[in-house]
Chain A
Amino acid sequence: MSTLQHAARIAWKDLRIELRSKEIIFTMMFFGGLLAVIYSYVFPTNLDMIKLAVPGMLWVTIAFAGTIGLSRAFDRERENDTMRALLLAPIPRISVFLGKAVAIAVLVLLVALVIVPMLVLLLDVPLFDNPGPLLISLLLGAIGFAVIGSVFSAALIKVRSRDVLLPVIIYPLLVPLFMAGTSITAGLLAGDSEKVGFWMGFLGLYDAAFLVVSLWIFESMVIE
């Protein structure tokens, strides 16, 4: 079997566990919805102002809910000490990394797909006017988040204060991603296609660069 098939198998294993327990999906989605409710009363409800604030709300929610999902997904491997089993398996380490990253990207994307309708419903913003570009930006954002998050979560698995350190490590590195994401969403709301195009390219390039480095770095990060 090829590297990608192994990766797909690991990703499917993670998603199947999740489909059975539904633990991460439910908690992440509920947390995301909760944040949307909080936003709708801590920010001014004036439509013009909310239009400027909504891109930030969307991507901050993805960051927070994503971090919860990330640490839980790797906690599961730690509790049963299955990370070692995965690393001992006669498959390339890259497959392990890709499988975990794909599973997390799917979870983050699912949360994003819940939070967007919530924001539309509660705050009455026209996010659904351009569903295609919005979906692509969410997909690219989820991939970038999952790639960087997986590298560091896997390395933090043995560290005691991992839950505190994870955001400290990944948020500064993810700032360009969230900046691009909010700019795309803001561009879509303002109907500025040039801005959307630029940031979409930026986001794609960022994902590609960090994916390549992560593929190279993952192997040396998880040596026991």
Chain B
Amino acid sequence: MSRYAAPLFALLGAIGFAVTIWMIFTDTPLQFSWQPNERHVVLATGSGSLFFNQKIFFWHVPHAIMLFLAVGVAGVSSIGFLTKRNPKWDDVALASVEVAVAFGAVTLLTGMIWAKAAWGHWWIWEKRLTMSLLLWMTLVGYTIVRRFAGASGERIAAAMAVFAMIGVPFIYTMVGAGDNHPQAGSEGNVATLNADMRPAFWSSMVTFLCWFLALVITRVQSARMQREVRELREKGLDAGVLE
């Protein structure tokens, strides 16, 4: 990983951020609502329009997708760490979990703001909300373990990441058939999103992917440096150079 990667992605994210905000407020239709009985996001004609509240969609969905992406990355690299015992894998897992906690917090908060406007409640025990919350809590548990469990925390946390990844389908099935979460496009396929929303949505996706990558790469690098400093210190202590 070159040392220019993180600044490059951060720059792309910054440019994309400005572009996305511009597109969200100029290019996308305002009269937009979600009717309680419909599964799809549709152009509204009647009452119940969300007006500006709908704009949060362009932040909420990319963050949620990044959250699940990060959990996948953390789970797979934790499997790598537990089988290969190479701490490089652990750096990646730690970085993606910490970034996932941040992205998950944004997902939950933006979702709650939207839910208050659309459903009239801050929180509903609905399938995807429950899944995201439980997953997020497991990730917060991961960071707590990393912080307070000492030397064996790495392995315990890695096992948590693996279990969290396998647990996702169970949590999804668990909350029953009531998936009345609004879907982006028909049947949740974002490729079928309304044509006038598509440019803003994809620009937002790319922006937050860049931002996500910049954060993960930076955190991986800092975790690696922390580890190297620790190892050097131990070496120095062994050699009697350090006190």
Q: Tell me which residues across on chain B come within 8 A of A220, comparing CB atoms.
A: 82-83, 85, 155
Name the residue among B150, B152, B153, B171 with the largest chain A CB count within 10 angstroms: B152
Cα A213 to Cα B79 with chains together (Å)? 11
Q: How many residues of A contact B (CB 8 A)?
A: 29
| A173 adjacent to B152 (CB under 8 Å) | no
| B144 adjacent to A213 (CB under 8 Å) | no
Chain A contact residues: over half helix, strand or loop, or mixed? helix
| A202 adjacent to B145 (CB under 8 Å) | no
Interface: B71 (CB within 8 A): no
| B159 adjacent to A155 (CB under 8 Å) | yes
* B172 CB to nearest chain A CB (Å): 10
Which residues 156-178 of A sit at the B interface, judged by CB distance below 8 A? 156, 158-161, 164-165, 168-169, 172-173, 175-176
Chain B contact residues: over half helix, strand or loop, or mixed? helix
Interface: B156 (CB within 8 A): yes
> Among B28-36, B104-112, B161-169, B235-243, which stretch is in contact with chain A?
B161-169
| A176 adjacent to B167 (CB under 8 Å) | yes
| A176 adjacent to B138 (CB under 8 Å) | no
| B149 adjacent to A161 (CB under 8 Å) | yes
Q: Per-residue CB proximity of B182-201 to A under 8 Å, as 1/0?
A: 00000000000000000000
Q: Tell me which residues across on chain B come within 8 A of A168, comparing CB atoms.
A: 141, 144-145
Interface: A7 (CB within 8 A): no
| A210 adjacent to B163 (CB under 8 Å) | yes
Q: Tell me which residues across on chain B come within 8 A of A173, comparing CB atoms.
A: 138, 160, 163-164, 167
A176 in contact with B170 given A213-B162, A221-B155, A221-B159 (CB within 8 Å)? yes
| A156 adjacent to B149 (CB under 8 Å) | yes
Of the candidates A158, A172, A217, the one whose C-beta lies within 8 Å of that of B152 is A158
| B141 adjacent to A172 (CB under 8 Å) | yes
A159 in contact with B144 given A152-B159, A173-B164, A210-B163 (CB within 8 Å)? no
Name the residue among B83, B134, B163 with the largest chain A CB count within 10 angstroms: B163
Interface: A209 (CB within 8 A): yes
Interface: A64 (CB within 8 A): no
| B155 adjacent to A209 (CB under 8 Å) | no
Minimal Cβ-Cβ distance residue in B for A159: B149
Q: Tell me which residues across on chain B come within 8 A of A160, comparing CB atoms.
A: 150
Cα A159 to Cα B156 with chains together (Å)? 10
Interface: A206 (CB within 8 A): yes
Interface: B173 (CB within 8 A): yes
* B23 CB to nearest chain A CB (Å): 37
| A159 adjacent to B153 (CB under 8 Å) | yes
Q: Which residues of B approach A to under 8 Å, CB–CB?
A: 82-83, 85, 134, 137-138, 141, 144-145, 148-153, 155-156, 159-160, 162-164, 166-167, 170-171, 173-174
Q: Which residues of A approach B to under 8 Å, CB–CB?
A: 148, 151-152, 155-156, 158-161, 164-165, 168-169, 172-173, 175-176, 179-180, 202, 205-206, 209-210, 213, 217, 220-221, 223
15 contacts between A and B (CB under 8 A): A148-B163, A155-B152, A156-B152, A158-B150, A159-B152, A169-B145, A172-B137, A172-B141, A173-B160, A179-B174, A206-B170, A210-B163, A213-B162, A217-B159, A221-B159
Given A152-B156, A168-B141, A220-B82, 17 other A-B contacts at CB below 8 A? A155-B152, A158-B151, A159-B153, A161-B148, A165-B156, A169-B141, A169-B160, A172-B137, A172-B164, A173-B163, A173-B164, A173-B167, A175-B171, A175-B174, A205-B170, A213-B163, A220-B155
